[in-house]
Amino acid sequence: MDQKVEFNPIKKLLTREELDAYDPESESWQKQFTRRYSHHSELMGVLNNVEDVDNTVYKKFAVAITPYMAQLMDKDDPNCPIRLQYMPSHHEQTIPGFATSLDQLGEEGDTIPGTSVVHRYPRRVLFLVSNTCATLCRFCTRKRMVSQPDGSVAKDEIEASIDYIASNPQIDDVLLSGGDPLTFTDERLDYILGELRRRAPHVRFLRMGSRMVVQLPTRVTPELCAVLEKHRVQMINIHIGHPKEITPLLRQRVKMIQKAGIMMGLQTVCLKGVNDDVEVMRDLFMQTIEMGVRPYYVYSTDMVEGAAHFIVPHHRMIELYEGLRGWISGPAVPTFVVDGLGGLGKLPIIPTYVREEELPDGSGTTVKCRNYKGMTIDMPGLGHNFSLPTRSN
């Protein structure tokens, strides 16, 4: 008699009571991954005031939210900064003629044929290894591949990518991204990182970008840290959009990564209604520097389809920057950047604190300096054609 096999799929947490009682540390990260919400209707028993969006939104970009992230969402407020980042919205409907590209950064044009390597800069490359994330950001810059069945990175592409890096000794900086590399098992990561180190010993800086550390902190385990340390991953950049995402569990798991000898950086996207506020940014960057994570980049929202409602104007980004420099610790001030359309690259947004002006008599220039308080002073000694006064005998 054949033995009957019972198959019990992982149950989703569809009531507030179930979600509140859930302990993310009570089970493996893989089980938590399978509990992800994949439709806004599944969250209607967990959150109030959930927008009933049209299903056409799902045809453009899927929904995926871990129970851990759902726990951080305000139960009642639809404008909760966590909800805005991850819950689908009618704002994602395409605006004709504006922000309709799925490859606004021109990555496909810089991708080496047969690989998933984006080689834009002379000595460093972006190595896309996955098209999966733990939770899907509604402003995702890679909607062309993330969560898309035809966007997956095949094993032969990964092998060809490692071969390409190995055959180009001028490449000394490799960034693994996706999707999220940490959606791979430890064994798969061990193989990819090991092959990179074995076949491309000229790579001096090996780093990873991950939001899974924030969206599912229990992914960080002693076993994962051992793999990262074994293959000398020197830096992990995590992505935090709002201080509400910084929890005791995140702090604990970040410390595990740091104990493996890995530098940690922070990047965030400037998002309207989420973090386009000076006090929010000050709090975010001081909290991250406090836990040993160095703020690295603040990106303008990329003009990808379905994200136009998040875009913060350039002048406001300048104001936000000026609200940080001089007001919080210097190492906590990140670089604000626009990622130029069509592959122009990362372009820094820098307010004018120092400018050079012509002297009224046309004899040269002076340099006018302004500090964070608005105090100004002229420094002609830094100007063009400046000469010291002649000394008389």
Per-residue burial over 65-82, b if 16 or more Cβ lie within 10 Å, else e, is bbbbbbbbbeeeeeebbb
Where is 217: in which H helix or E strand?
none
User: Which tokens belong to 185?
Assistant: 């098992």
Backbone angles phi, psi at 155, to 5 degrees: -60, -40
User: Which tokens belong to 80?
Assistant: 């909760």
CB 134, CB 212: distance < 8 Å: yes
Cα gap 100→97, rounded to integer Å:
7
Q: Where are the alpha helices (DSSP H) in the chain?
A: 16-21, 29-34, 56-60, 67-72, 81-86, 155-166, 186-199, 212-215, 222-230, 248-259, 278-290, 314-322
Residue 132: CB atoms within 10 A of its CB come to 22
User: Which tokens belong to 258?
Assistant: 């740091």
DSSP assigned state of 112: P
Q: Residues with catalytic annotation?
A: 120-121, 124, 133, 137, 140, 142, 302, 339, 346
∠ CA 141-232-204 to the nearest 5 degrees? 75
Please return the burial class of 256, using the count of CB atoms within 10 Å of its CB with bins 0-12, 13-18 and 19+.
middle
The 3-state DSSP class for residue 113 equals coil
Whole-angstrom CA distances from 143 to 59, 105, 148, 236, 302 are 11, 12, 8, 22, 11
Cα gap 224→75, rounded to integer Å:
33
**Beta carbons within 8 Å of 122's beta carbon, 6+ residues apart:** 170
CB 285, CB 324: distance < 8 Å: yes
User: Which tokens belong to 207?
Assistant: 């780093």
| Residue corresponding to tokens 């913060």 | 312
